[in-house]
Amino acid sequence: MKKLFFLSLVLLSLAFSEAIAQNNRRHDTNYNGWFMYFGTHKLTDKWGLHTEFQLRRYHVVSDPQQFMPRVALVYNLSDRASIAAGYAYVHTYPYGDNPAADDFPEQRTFQQLQLKDQQGIFGLQHRFRLEQRWVKFALADEYTYMNRARYQFRATLPLQGTSLEDKEFYLGVYDEVFLNFGPNVTNNIFDQNRAYAAVGYRFHKDANVEVGYLHQHVAQRNGIWFENNHTLQVGLTYNLDFRKKSTVPQE
């Protein structure tokens, strides 16, 4: 009975602490626009180069939020699996109800595994990514090192017929969760979640455009402020093929 009473006190204390933490939380709602370019270019049958640039705006278009170039070397394990390692630079500006004191930079390296599959009319993709982040927070003299893990699940559904062909529309959806780990994790292991839905148009197998909505739920490092970011996303993908073309001598 004493053990049960003690356990009840512990559970009640934890519930009370969680209730206080919930009451201390502040929520910030923002309306953003992300405008993006992606390209994974073939260098050989196995190797490729991923290039990317994202321009992120606060108040959809009027104010700066972030910009990020990213590059990676890609190795194709098979038609449905690839690994990559790369670098990204992220520059963040003050925005929202709880803005940073000033803009600040981030240097980032990352490694990822990407798997593709086809289940009926659905194209499926799993992406696992590890990030090593060096962030020089606003007004700080030194960079802070942090680790983050990300997992994204994406599905693509053709809107004309049972397979996606050139000059056809499709629906794309994904969800991606971000978790902090290792040194310098402060109040939140959970970093953010992104839920996305878009309509896309495939020009041909190496080019498409998507326009969609992203809901980004972000936990700030202080453990008090949580962002609900409603985001317009416009993305262009254009892949190039730099492999040497074999020439067949004419007779």
pLDDT for the residue numbered 152: 98
CB atoms within 10 A of CB 251: 3
pLDDT, greater one: 35 or 244: 35
pLDDT at 246 over 80: no
**Contact assessment for residue 164 and residue 142, using Cβ atoms and an 8 Å cutoff:** no
| Domains recognised in the chain with CATH numbers | 31-238 (2.40.160.40)
Question: Quick one: which of 232, 140, 213, 138 has its CA closest to 171?
Answer: 213
Measured distance CA(114)–CA(56) in Å, rounded? 25
Q: Is the dihedral of CA 184, 189, 195, 200 positive or negative?
A: positive
Q: Could you tell me the pLDDT band of residue 24, with boundaries at 50, 70 and 90?
A: confident
| Residues 163-189 pLDDT 10s | 999 999 999 999 999 999 998 998 889
pLDDT for the residue numbered 11: 40
pLDDT for the residue numbered 23: 54
Measured distance CA(226)–CA(213) in Å, rounded? 19
For the chain, the three-class secondary structure string (H helix, E strand, C coil) is CHHHHHHHHHHHHHHHHHHHHHHHCEEEEEEEEEEEEEEEEECCCCEEEEEEEEEEEECCCCEEEEEEEEEEEEEEEECCEEEEEEEEEEEECCCCCCCCCCCEEEEEEEEEEEEEEEECCEEEEEEEEEEEEEECCCCCCCCEEEEEEEEEEEEEEECCCCCCCCCEEEEEEEEEEEEEECCCCCCCCEEEEEEEEEEEEEEECCEEEEEEEEEEEEECCCCCEEEEEEEEEEEEEECCECCCCCCCCCC
Give CA 181 to chain center in angstroms. 17
Tokens of 114: 């990407």
Q: Which amino acid is at 46?
A: K
Q: Could you tell me the pLDDT band of residue 62, with boundaries at 50, 70 and 90?
A: very high
- The CA-to-CA distance between both ends of the chain, in Å, stands at 96
77-81 mean pLDDT: 97
81-94 mean pLDDT: 98
pLDDT for the residue numbered 188: 85
pLDDT at 5 over 70: no
